[in-house]
Structure 1
Amino acid sequence: MNGLIRVLVMAGSRPGPDPLLSGSGVATKALLPIAGRPMLAHVVAALRAASEVGPITILAQRSAELAAHPALAGFADLHFADSGQGISASLAAALPEGDAPVLVTTADNVLLTPAMIAEFLAGAEDSDVAVAMVEKRVLLAHYPESKRTWLKFRGGWWSGANLFRLRGRRVLPLLDFWGRIERDRKRGMKIVAAFGPALLLAVVLRLITIQQGVARAGLRFGLKAKIVPMTEPEACIDADKPADVELIESILAARP
């Protein structure tokens, strides 16, 4: 596995009822069937087909239930671990020793492909923290019906693509900070405000691009942080709502 990147897949459940699971007979979102197999199986298959990927660890509150599912049998170098309370704490506990990079994604990133993984990792080189994003015009040119959460910066509006590259344990201070604000993860301006009034003002007045904003935020923790713009619009379409699942299934049906 020398030279291959370790992967952490966040496959846990958030507190409260999930509208996707209502009437499905499935207890956890990662096992919700999409196009005939659990969403987690789609993600693992894409990761295993990527030439850059090494060991894969699935993090979930009920990891044994996921490990026992037949759709996940047969994948090489696939591991399961129980997650903690919250995304940041779970990631911090799962990071390997040292500063080797780790690729992080989520179980609902169903449209993930090896090409997306390659594009992201190539763009994430030489960073401590890298975040995949899709610009609004890229998405709406192909899927105008898709509803996403947008971060508004000079030069464009952006939505997250559920791909992250972290430079090992040197990012622990950032994860600790994120643990205090992750409840506001869908409220872009609250997240920006947490990094201080100067950055908030610059974003509100559209004085900086998202690349500049993320770089400034990283410097607060002594980290080189960057955005990796993704060229495939599907990169930011994850399975959050019933409408998302319908769109994802239509996209999967059209793929070769």
Structure 2
Amino acid sequence: MTGWTAILLAGQRPGSDPLAAHFGQTWKALVPVAGEAMLSRVAKTLLAAPSIERVVIVAQQPDVLFVGDCAWIKDEPRITTALSTSGIATSIASIAGTVTAPWPVLLTTADHPLLRVEMIEAMIAGIGDADVAVGVVGQNTLLAAYPNNRRTWLRFRGEAWTGANLFALRTADARKALIAWSEVERDRKKALKLIRHFGPLLAVLALTRLITLAGAMRIAGRRLGFRAQPIALPFAEAGIDVDKPSDHALVELIFASSRPG
């Protein structure tokens, strides 16, 4: 399938972002990595991917981001913008499947400067007939390349996983996933409510590591009315985003050693 829309999330939570403040910036997306703002790097990578037809940048104030390294974005005909609303899922749901961002949709974030075209194409090639796919990187894959890197790991039978900040929404049924996501966003600190979203049996299986990530997603998706699956990416760098200064330092080292893009 060709003609994918990439939604590039470039907003931030209310108040000062700690990483942006550390680098003297107002907006996290404008923090430079290897001499170029993260937003500019990710946008260029998306435009270079053969399967991506258009890019929609979503932020609270998109226009204020198009300065310095990102000034070129204003004149790029394949890029449009949309305003973020009260939550990530709600913001995506407001444009996904519309003229602004027609299906199928690939989501990623501006703080993923290590994103490469082959990661994007692997996500799109791997979704198959699923409505929703989540990009993940296995602990063994990531730590083999970067043994000192600290990530949040989700532990399931056979492997622990970290997110790759890549989500593929192939069909209109993916809107059901966005609705569920928006509810989880509101309840993410309330464990009992989270369990109710997916059912106690699935929660027990996940907590006791008696089920694989793919199995858990398949059951959760079926319960909510869509087909869901993880896509295990073989790229260690897909699991590294830039949330804190130590992440930034690691990414700078990776760029310095590999000289990508």
Taking structure 2 as the reference length, the TM-score comes to 0.90
Counterpart CA distance in 1 for 2:93 and 2:229 is 20
Counterpart CA distance in 1 for 2:224 and 2:230 is 16
Alignment of 1:51-200 (within 5 A): 51-73=50-72, 75-97=76-98, 100-182=103-185, 194-200=197-203
Give the corresponding residue for 1:24: 23
Q: Which runs of 4+ in 1 moved over 3 A?
A: 67-70, 183-194
Q: Deviations over 1:192-216 (max 9, x none)?
A: 6631101011112211100000111
Larger displacement relative to structure 2 (176-185 or 229-238): 176-185
Q: Which runs of 5+ in 2 are unaligned?
A: none
The secondary structure found in structure 1 opposite 2:137 is: strand
Counterpart AA for 1:48: L
Alignment partner of 1:242 is 2:245: yes
CA contact (8 A) 1:108 1:240 kept: yes
In percent, how many aligned pairs have the same letter? 40
C-alpha displacement of 1:100: 2.6
CA root-mean-square deviation:
2.3
Alignment partner of 1:231 is 2:234: yes
Counterpart CA distance in 2 for 1:158 and 1:245 is 21
Larger displacement relative to structure 2 (108-117 or 64-73): 64-73
C-alpha displacement of 1:23: 4.2
Matched residue count:
255
The secondary structure found in structure 1 opposite 2:20 is: coil
Give the corresponding residue for 2:33: 34
Alignment partner of 1:206 is 2:224: no
Closer/same/farther in 2, CA of residues 27 and 81 from structure 1, 3 Å limit:
same
Counterpart CA distance in 2 for 1:23 and 1:161 is 24
Q: Which runs of 5+ in 1 are unaligned?
A: none
Taking structure 1 as the reference length, the TM-score comes to 0.92
Counterpart AA for 1:203: A
Q: Deviations over 1:111-132 (max 9, x none)?
A: 0000111111111121100000
